[in-house]
Amino acid sequence: MSFRRMAARRRLALAAGAAVAASALLAGCTGTSSSSSGSSDSINYALPANFTPNWLLPIGTAAHLNTNNGSIAAAMWEPLVAYDGSTGKVGWNKKGSIASAADFAADGKSVKITLGDRHWSDGKAITSRDVEFWYNLITVNKKQYASYSPGKAPDNWTTLKATDDRHFTITFDKAYNSQWMLANELSLIKPLPQHAWDKTSASAKVSDADRTAAGAKQVWTYLNEAGKDISKYASSPLWKTVSGPYTVKSFSTAGKVVLTANKKYDGGEKAGISTVNLLPFTTTTAETNALRAGSVDYGYIDPGDLDQKDAFASRGYTVEPWTGWAITYMPYNFNNPTMGPVFKQLYARQAIQRSIDQAGLVKAIFNGTATPGTARCRRGRTRTSCPTRRRTTPTRSTPRRRPSCSPTTAGPSRTA
């Protein structure tokens, strides 16, 4: 969900697709009657069907790991390194990053990070201390951190030492490829406002509590408990200190979220739309009806509805592909007492794979919006991202202990 990139067009409206398949993005023309948002400074954005936003804290936990939650938070708190495909090419998107440089040592065992001259929405500078704050919370509470994998960050980071407010060095436990480290681990770092959040309770004063294990656990608990109180997202001062192009204006427990431009934002991806209304829908049918009524600017349709493209176009919408990382697959149960021994045979898996009529599925099920998949990246891929929807990294379709693959579909991306 990349609200900051909406400046170019007033109404980029329908993205066709469900959670596993994307087909097309429908964009409406400026000035038509297809929208009820009423102003070029406001848009109505359809959230995925049957999804209710319920987490704002920019730290994922197992109970709150929906990509769409992370996308909303990402519009408010930018990462140290925005490594994604949102610009059309997978790589370091420095415009959306807090860091301005990452200089790896010649031996590959450390990296020196330079922060940009950036500020929080309350005017305080974003410093190395804000990175250390994140690091301390994650290190002590790593088992509750959704992105934690034993042996990976922060386990393989031996030290984080600040040189000054805008420079710090992370030392690794061994040599690593710089691109791998940048994309897989440094991109996880989310500078947090230590001067506002380093508290053990709502009534406690801000301190350096995170610098002890006991204190870091208390701060973690406090922030996570605050994160569960959706009713206070719009009113609590805790959520007002942001680094991204948006801040929350209202957050309904029923699912509607209103984001407004952060007027103090000094990064490279300023909000192009002042107000973004995120609208919840219980079903894709309800969302499609809203599109027909013209009450949604950005939306989506199922691949099976693409034969109605002209009808949507007559309402001012334009249909465009909504491409992302996704794949449809069928996993084998290698432990099944009857078929498990069969699936473990290479020739059996090859036969099953070759029996799948991918071209037929693309035509009959996905209405021409999918691409037959035979490897990690699908053929014909031209884009790597799309706002608001879930990203599923493609699973390699090889005969050795892998799922049998159906057509790769254009699913939306961007992670938390």
Cβ burial of 180 (10 Å; 0-12, 13-18, 19+) is exposed
Full-model pTM:
0.78
Per-residue pLDDT, 327: 74
Of 32-41, 151-160, 254-263, 388-397, the range with the lowest mean pLDDT is 388-397
Angle at 240 between CA 235 and CA 245, to 5 degrees: 130
For the chain, domain boundaries: 3-58+248-320, 77-243
User: Taking 70 as the threshold, does the pLDDT of residue 365 lie above it?
Assistant: yes
As given in the structure block, the two tokens for residue 235 are 């009113």
Query: Does the domain at residues 3-58+248-320 carry the CATH identifier 3.40.190?
Result: yes
**How does residue 381 score in pLDDT terms, banded at 50, 70 and 90?**
very low
Mean pLDDT of 369-393: 49
**How does residue 392 score in pLDDT terms, banded at 50, 70 and 90?**
very low
User: Taking 80 as the threshold, does the pLDDT of residue 289 lie above it?
Assistant: yes
380 Cβ neighbours under 8 A, 6+ residues apart: 371
* Segment 233-275, tens digit of pLDDT: 999 999 999 999 999 999 999 999 999 999 999 999 999 999 9
User: Taking 80 as the threshold, does the pLDDT of residue 410 lie above it?
Assistant: no
Mean pLDDT of 130-153: 97
Which residue has better confidence, 34 or 357?
357
Query: Does the domain at residues 77-243 carry the CATH identifier 3.60.20.10?
Result: no
Q: What percent of the chain has pLDDT over 70?
A: 79
Per-residue pLDDT, 26: 52
Give the distance from CA 415 to its chain's centroid: 2
130 by DSSP, 3-state: which? helix
User: Taking 80 as the threshold, does the pLDDT of residue 350 lie above it?
Assistant: yes
Per-residue pLDDT, 325: 61
171 by DSSP, 3-state: which? strand
Q: Where are the beta strands (DSSP E) in 237-345?
A: 246-251, 257-261, 275-281, 317-320, 329-330
Q: How many other CB atoms sit within 10 Å of the CB of residue 8?
A: 7
User: Taking 80 as the threshold, does the pLDDT of residue 112 lie above it?
Assistant: yes
User: Taking 80 as the threshold, does the pLDDT of residue 140 lie above it?
Assistant: yes
Q: At what angle do helices 128-140 and 213-227 cross, to 10 degrees?
A: 90
**Is the distance from CB of 333 to CB of 339 less than 8 angstroms?**
yes
Mean pLDDT of 89-96: 90
Per-residue pLDDT, 270: 95
